[in-house]
Structure 1
Amino acid sequence: MLLSSELQAFQEEVRQFCAEELPADIRAKVLRNQKLEKDDYIAWQRALDRKGWFAGHWPAEHGGLGWSALKRWIFEEELYAAGAPWLVPFGVSYVGPVIYTFGNVAQKRTHLEPIRRSEIWWAQGYSEPGAGSDLASLSTRAVRDGDHYRVTGQKIWISYAHWADKMFLLARTSTEGKPQDGISFLLLDMSAPGIVVRPIPTIDRYHHVNEIFLDDVKVPVANLVGEENRGWTQAKFLLDRERLLTAEVGKARRLLRRLLDIARATPSGSGSLSGDRHWRLKFAEIYSETLTLEATCLDLLTEAQNGRDPGPVASMLKIVGSELLQRINGMTIDAIGLHGLAYDTSGLSAESPMTGAAQFAGSVREYLYSRVLSIYGGSNEIQRNIIARSVLGLGR
């Protein structure tokens, strides 16, 4: 579909902003898939906030610009295509909208501005050892004790909790009724006594995720968002927003450019790999799929903007987007060849000499990390079940 002249102008403005304001050192790290520190993310998010864009999708009355879903998608995809860091969603895209939608006046006054200004780093306390995609089976308990809850349980696969100042979490406040009943949405301070954060080693040898142990942690009742035992409403609200924008087309475009650069620099026969007919056909296929996914996203978001519920199509985008990125990364490792066998993690540091296997460490890391894309945010198997029930009427 063709963008309106207004959206085309906005798209160009975002590209120009990235060219002028995205720090060169941060962009270089992103393009090489190197380690980003907390300060890198915050510096970029604050630059966007000075422009008024970091929370542009928030309503104007809460400090945003009231962007449509389509305008927000264009914004984020242009950032990622330009080599900007991931916009860490836990504050600005997850708990922030929950607070301004379901929170009381005091909660909005306390939390929204620090989220928008990236003054507080949030973690998402949803998954548990026995409750991942089946979130309603969570067992972390919050027992009311006067003006506090006492929270005990375990959360797992919590991204960047080692950097977090606060965490929003789901806890069971009642065992009556259906599994979805009796769940409450709480905000807690990560410095509270009784919280232990332990890193979980991952295959890419980078500290992304953690497990969190909660032992009789006191959480003020004032930090309950919405009604007690009605937290499933907030949980679904958050997950629906999370899954609508999961097809990372901008990142796919950036990784395809990286793949093409590698292929051009890789000898093959009398020329380079990029000139090989078989390789060109494979690249053309995956490039065409990226364009098709982009067009589908634009159509879907236009319909959502006009009030149509995306329904199971959001699950389809999650499946296609995650598997597309995995294939691009797999093709990149194929192009790297023998250099991909040795994972020289020194190349993940910006200070490392970019020679030998180290210069490809970022691509190897991205390949390894991309295994998780079809798992988090509701595994692709779960998404296929949603499609089967909603579209084919199976399993009802």
Structure 2
Amino acid sequence: MTFYYKPSRIAELTRVSARLLLLLSFLFSFNVTVSTAAVSVADGQKLFANNCRSCHNTPDKDQVLVGPSLKNADKKRSEAWLISWIRNNVAFRASGDKEACAIFEEYKKASMTQFLSFSDDDIKSIIAYINDASNKVPVVANAPIGGAAGATEESADNYTGILWVVVVTLAGLSFLIFRINNNLRRYAGEKEGEEIPEERPFFRAIFSKGNVALMFFMCVMFLGYWMVNEGQSLGRSRDYQPIQPIKFSHKIHAGQNQINCLYCHAGAEKSKTASIPSVNICMNCHKAIKEGPITGTAEISKIYAAYDNNQPIKWIKIHNLPDHVYFNHSQHVKAGQVACQTCHGPVQEMDEVKQFASLSMGWCVNCHRNTATQFSQNKYYDPLFSKLHEELKTGKISQVTEGDLGGTECQKCHY
């Protein structure tokens, strides 16, 4: 049996296909990156930098930060074990896994953030990055701080060219099908004896009412997308790294010499602000230490000049929150036992400190939703949250987060 389609029907199908292709190319253009595979080392590096880097050293290093070294972690434990641990370590410990419980005890019962929103492919990408970084030869260079994150962004930008090739190709196919459609319609009209209208010039056809309406719609969508995207980043200063009056290296002080953060920033566990150390704090050590390993006496002499003239060192503040946001360091450092690196990143590896996290509202809220509190060990919660205590004992819930205690209510941070 032979099926015969009229030219007019073919023309109609072609016209619909052209519109679908044009719409598809429009939707493609909203993306800024394209993933070539579900599991990707580049994606894993980006996820690691945004979610794990504040507590774990990069996988090419053996040094322990807040959490253990991840070098060759994929060889020490199975993929299934790592997926269970990374996604929900609290539930994994509650299941009775001896190795998970041992790690929890070894690291002073510091509860790792849960990543319930991560898919298996997300976690496998992180594992792939750990494997890749563990086996790489260390790069010897005085690379600028933040180089790893920059490399991640660069690798993501490499896909942008591929994206635009796809968009241009789809747009070209749409134009080709549009021309074929016109020719088929004219051919169908001639076959059926219809009067053939004079063919319009190309530019008149392009700027017909329907096409102008479509282009206007696309422009509105692009403008809306741009406004929302720019509005979300308004006022944020991630990676802000000002030049300080003295070239103070956190890498030497907090990293190599292992000076506790609270020695200089004593206010962090006692008050709302972490406090910038006064000159006399510097002089506690630099009365004896008169020469540094990098700059010699050049920078330390600036401390002496400020001390001798009874003048403060004019440090430039890096981490700034909006005026309508209330943040208390002591609540997080003392009561919550939150590590400094969670918000400030691996400062012990930074010669010049920069803003590590976005400090956006979404970033804070996600932390409150996912971070477990020392609920059962803190008697303050006993009379106030008896229902949560009961649910914890019966196993209905595996942990209590700050969000469960009201940490996501507007008035907690805005009043």
TM-score of the superposed pair, with normalisation by structure 1: 0.25
- If asked which structure has higher relative contact order (CA below 8 Å, sep 6+), I would say 2
TM-score, structure 2 normalization: 0.24
Max Rg structure: 2
Higher share in strand: 1
